[in-house]
A and B are shown apart, each in its own frame.
Chain A
Amino acid sequence: MTQALEGFLQALSAGILIGAVYGLMCVGLGLIFGVMRVINFAHGDFMMLGMYAAFYLFTALGVQAAFGNAFGPFVAILLAGPILALFGYAIHLALISRVSGTRTSALEGEGHYAQLILTLGIALILQNGGLIVFGSVLASIRTPLSSSAWVLGPFFDISIFINKARGIDAVVSFIAMILLTLLITRSRIGKSLRAAADNPTAATYMGIDVDRAHRVAFALGSGITAIAGGLLATNYPFHPFVGVEYVIVMYAGVVLGGMGSIIGAFWGGMTIGLVQQMSTLILPTQLQNAAIFVVFLLIIFFRPQGFFGRVVERT
């Protein structure tokens, strides 16, 4: 009995920790897909680039030497955010803006078909380009914290182990999420992003440059997901094709949380993390991903608009 309870609590805590990072990852896509309604199938590969950016910043560009083995990785990961934000900004300026925003708002499907093909193309280029540049060897951002744990308890013979790296990953995710929520809900730029998403034409009448708002959201979303990717990389090895494994989870998280809701995307990602970890209690590990999508279907069946989706007509 005690053992079962201990296993349950251990899986629960692992689920919350990984769920926080998944949540942050989904929030990045939530800005682009949920709020601005731009389909980006290369988002997983943007995350892959974020992982490699953090990796090279840490190992080759002096962050390890400057900040040490334990906390250096986290500095590198946070620095990878702005780098990928710039990358996202450039990709939007050069490519995505041609199939989204004011240019396509009057078209059938708002340019989604072109976005689908374009971003799948970008994904292929990034994956195969990554293979050439980074090679196929598994990489990981190693910190001694990944192999040590804090022990909670014992409470009545039950002890819970918290992996230190995962613990810090979760804390960083929560802080990033809170800062982003404040930015989106309180700041002028955040409000104008939401206005541009709500009604691009009316936003233009207000003097908001809608295409620029889209670009800022795209950059912000890319940077956020890159940070989440870096955090994942402290525990999971990665390779140039790692994006494919995560991009579907990201879309599931955004839809689960409710289109257009940033907080929803976070809880969507959290749900996926929890289901993934808890399912190992009763199912073989190979069925983790199957369990995620069974739960996804169940939730969408009973609540098609997702957790935080509003059933309000978009004018």
Chain B
Amino acid sequence: MLRIEALTAGYSAIPVLNGVSIDVEQGQFVAIVGPNGAGKTTLFKTISGIVQPSAGSIMFEDRDLLSVPPAQRAHLGIAHVPEGRQVFPSLTVMENLEMGAMTEAGQRDWKHNIERIFEWLPVLAERRGQFAGTLSGGQQQMLAIGRGLASSPKLLMLDEPSMGLAPTIADFIFERLIEIRRQSRLTILLVEQRVAEALESADHGYVIEAGRVALEGNNQTLRADDRIRKAYLGM
């Protein structure tokens, strides 16, 4: 579904990503892990068109994504739940969700989507009239996820949904994600610092270090790998 090949991208002349190749198949849950500054967020921004790559290609459903203007990419079915949540603070919870549903598919499925989103993340239903800027961090993260789901995406990209949250809240959000994934069979690309949880729930994983794919494999291979066990899982 998403095929990234030899992608090099960065800011000004400094490359952050150096020949990264990643594949996401339809229905797969793929996790990308790695240390701070490895280029995970830059990878997402390049997929969404906020960062321009200097080399490589990105294909989405056999379509050259790099030739699609950034604002059109959401309409192809890519939902980006960004790092640090980035909800619209002066819009209400409901209006934020409506913004997620700007895509044609989101418009079409609005009633059905909103029902499911409220069922999965009931706190959003309770707070629907509240300004998003006044929500707690965990609530904002749930809103950001709900906003992504409201677009009826084919691919949901989640950038560190646990960032800056208390461990219990991060656990809760992870649990919700697993549940959403179980019920919707959505294709998910996740970037996460919580390596153990990410690798446990994903089908396939990539380890990115210093802008390169250092390691990749399915869930079992990665969790059994000595380097991962030492560096990330603390075993």
Contact = CB atoms under 8 A, between A and B. Distances in A.
B189 to A, nearest CB: 14
A204 B72 CA distance: 8
Contacts of A314: 89
Interface of A: 188, 191-192, 194-195, 198-199, 201-210, 260, 310, 312-315
B2 to A, nearest CB: 16
B28 to A, nearest CB: 21
Contact of B102 (A207, A260, A315): A207
A250 B9 CA distance: 44
Nearest to B78: A205
A133 to B, nearest CB: 38
Contacts of A315: 84-87, 89, 133
Interface residues of B, number: 32
Interface of B: 48-50, 69-75, 79-80, 82, 84-91, 95, 98-100, 102-103, 131, 133-134, 147, 151
B90 to A, nearest CB: 5
B71 A313 contact: no
A126 B15 CA distance: 45
A204 B99 CA distance: 10
Given A194-B91, A315-B84, A208 B102 contact: yes
A207 B103 contact: yes
A315 B95 CA distance: 17
A203 B50 CA distance: 11
A206 B151 CA distance: 8
B151 A207 contact: yes
A289 B151 CA distance: 51
A195 B99 contact: yes
Contacts of A312: 89-90, 131, 133-134
